Amino acid sequence: MGCCQTAVTGNQEFFIFEFADYLQDPRLQKFSPCSYGFIVEDGWFNFDPYYAKLSHFRERYRDGVPFVVDWVVGNETCAEAKKNMSYACLDMKSVCVDTSNNGPGYLCNCSTGYEGNPYLQGGCQDIDECQFPSKYPCNGECINTIGGYNCSCPHGTHSTDPKSTPCNPIPGSNKPEVNVLIGTSIRVVFLVVCIVATLIKYQRRKLSKEKETFFKQNGGQILYQKILSKQVDTVIIFTIGDLMKATSNFDKNREIGTGGHGIVYKGILRDDKAVAVKRSKIMNVAQTEEFIQELIILSQINHRNVVRLLGCCLEVEVPILVYEFIPNGTLFDLIHGNYNIHPISLEVRLRIAQESAEALAYMHVSINQPIVHGDVKSLNILLDENYMAKVTDFGLSKLLLPKDEAQLMTMVQGTLGYLDPEYLQERILTEKSDVYSFGVVLLELITRKMAIYSEGPGERKNLASSFLQAMRENRAQALFDTSVMDVGMEHLLGEVAELGSLCLSINGAERPSMIQVADKLKTIRSTWRELLRHNETELLIDKPGTSSACALSPSMYWTGRIMGMDGSAWQAVSQENFGPG
């Protein structure tokens, strides 16, 4: 058992190999029942003991082994073969070559400058040598010819053999051409500059005309006249250039919010004042005077819980609104963001709810022309540097009306879960529509669930519907946020839940007004003030399993942030009140 190999010499008419009889030994058969042999290219095969079993070799080389055959035509010389009808070099561009290494016979090749099959008529085709510069060098201009190629130097240069040596300039031969080239280049550059300057001037005029058209279309002249006559001093008219500079050309990195109405960017004005720049997607400017009047009214609102409208840009197709910048994000982020480790306390939640309710109540009754928000949700309640609530997007229900029913449906989908059922039926927004939406926000605060939430894969529930059903079945406590469900808090949360259910009444007439909602929240906070304070104090005391007596509870963490205190400050307060443990 083993492996052997031998060379196959030339001039062989046939070659046979066979296996010795002793390979039939049962002991060998048991180990490797099959023997095998093969002809392979010289130098390719290296024996490996792994090949001792036939299956191993066959599995590794399923597609076979390389086999090279050297052959010739017939057993005649070229001179003899050309006299016979069987002469194999059929193409006119072929040549016959006598062979001597493998016995008598001959081979056919395509002539120089041709390639293909010389054994077929028309089999040899011209080679385009210019396409293969590495094989057919040319240091000048290459021109293909039948059966070859020409190589010549460009005008003004020379070489003894452009195929092998570079083409060098002929001294003094290119001065006139250089002068002509320079002159032509100057003319072309001048022409291009003139064309570009003309296009820029045209585009500037076109852009300026568009700005004037949009400014007039959006009521800019009406607003400008009111400002000149000092009827209005609360609105700033920004140019698009001002806002592009403030937002770094509306850089994506400056985006701080997106929604159904548009995109909000953070901008820095020339006086380093931070602002929020809102680019809206759609707008109905058919009632221009009404739009400007509402813009003026919104800019005159001065309530501590309402985001102030500073100004606008009217020289674009869809007006851009500029608001004061509120730094600490939205109530939605605070409730549902990445703060699960440190939930906010119930006291803070109720304070934010009361502040938001007071803002809505002010807009409904405390100004000459009541304004319905129309899109109350946790995303539209912002938090300033002290985490005080600031309601934004007032008036967009009228400023940003959809142009058709399809756009209306898009807006409805954008606020799914907050919309008043009566509004969906009647298509009329009222103050009670805001009350219903605020009721959903109130539920978000005490349940920490989104308006449309999931409890399992593919399962989506409406928070308002689920909560009202739980109230009817007397199991609302199951939906409360466990992080605020301390001992004695059930009745307090029950009062807030009852207020929320009133806001969610199907019949708008049965809902309280926003003034009543704000007063009720104020009363709840006042009535339960001691319990809320006691709850916060209890959270400071060490609980089993904590590593330190001064460890902060999740609620106290957020209370500390809102009061502007860091962890070390809270630790100092805790030690002062309760000692080191």
Q: Could you read off the pLDDT of 218-259 as tens digits, one per residue?
A: 888 888 888 887 778 889 999 999 999 999 999 999 999 886
pLDDT for res 150: 94
pLDDT for res 563: 39
- Phi, psi (5° rounding) for residue 265? -115, 150
175 labelled ligand-binding: no
pLDDT tens track for 558-579: 444 443 444 433 343 333 333 3
Instruction: Return the minimum-mean-pLDDT range out of 19-33, 144-158, 532-546.
Output: 532-546
Which structure tokens are listed for 501? 């259910």
Name the nearest CA neighbour of 452 among 478, 506, 415, 480: 415
Q: Give percent of the chain with pLDDT exceeding 90.
A: 43
Greatest mean pLDDT among 1-10, 85-94, 276-285 lies in 85-94
CA dist., res. 355 & res. 331, Å (int):
12
Task: Report, as an integer, the average pLDDT of 380-397.
Answer: 86
CA dist., res. 215 & res. 221, Å (int):
7
Task: Report, as an integer, the average pLDDT of 523-541.
Answer: 72
24 pLDDT band, cuts 50/70/90, is low
pLDDT for res 559: 42
- Extents of the domains making up the chain: 1-69, 78-126, 131-169, 206-325, 330-528, 539-578
Q: Give percent of the chain with pLDDT exceeding 70.
A: 79
Average pLDDT along the chain: 81
CB atoms within 10 A of CB 544: 4
Task: Report, as an integer, the average pLDDT of 492-508.
Answer: 95
pLDDT for res 29: 65
534 pLDDT band, cuts 50/70/90, is low
pLDDT tens track for 423-452: 888 888 889 999 999 999 999 999 999 999
Q: Torsion-angle region of residue 427: left (phi > 0), alpha (psi -120 to 50) or beta? A: left
pTM score > 0.85 for this model? no
pLDDT for res 571: 41
CA dist., res. 289 & res. 282, Å (int):
18
The torsion angle over the Cα atoms of residues 134, 137, 142 and 145, rounded to 10 degrees, is -90
> Quick one: angle between helices 554-562 and 567-578, nearest 10?
110
User: Is the predicted pLDDT of residue 310 greater than 90, yes or no?
Assistant: yes
More confident residue, 397 or 192: 192
Instruction: Return the minimum-mean-pLDDT range out of 44-58, 236-250, 519-533.
Output: 44-58
- Phi, psi (5° rounding) for residue 118? -75, -10
CATH node for 131-169: 2.10.25
pLDDT tens track for 324-365: 999 999 999 999 886 555 668 888 999 999 999 999 999 998
pLDDT tens track for 466-491: 999 999 999 999 999 988 887 778 88
Task: Report, as an integer, the average pLDDT of 274-281.
Answer: 89
pLDDT for res 418: 93
Task: Report, as an integer, the average pLDDT of 46-61.
Answer: 74
Residues known to be catalytic: 375
Which residue in the block uniquely carries the two structure tokens 């209370």? 559
pLDDT for res 548: 35
pLDDT for res 265: 95
Task: Report, as an integer, the average pLDDT of 409-413.
Answer: 42
pLDDT for res 543: 40
127 and 113 Cβ atoms separated by less than 8 Å: yes
Distances (CA, A) of 562 to 151, 314, 374: 84, 38, 29
Assigned CATH class of 206-325: alpha beta
pLDDT for res 273: 94
More confident residue, 534 or 448: 448
DSSP secondary structure code for residue 455 in this structure: E
User: Is the predicted pLDDT of residue 25 greater than 80, yes or no?
Assistant: no
pLDDT for res 224: 82
User: Is the predicted pLDDT of residue 530 greater than 70, yes or no?
Assistant: yes
pLDDT for res 396: 55
Instruction: Return the minimum-mean-pLDDT range out of 123-137, 220-234, 531-545.
Output: 531-545
pLDDT for res 294: 80
Yes or no: is domain 330-528 CATH 1.25.40.10?
Answer: no
pLDDT for res 403: 41
pLDDT for res 2: 64
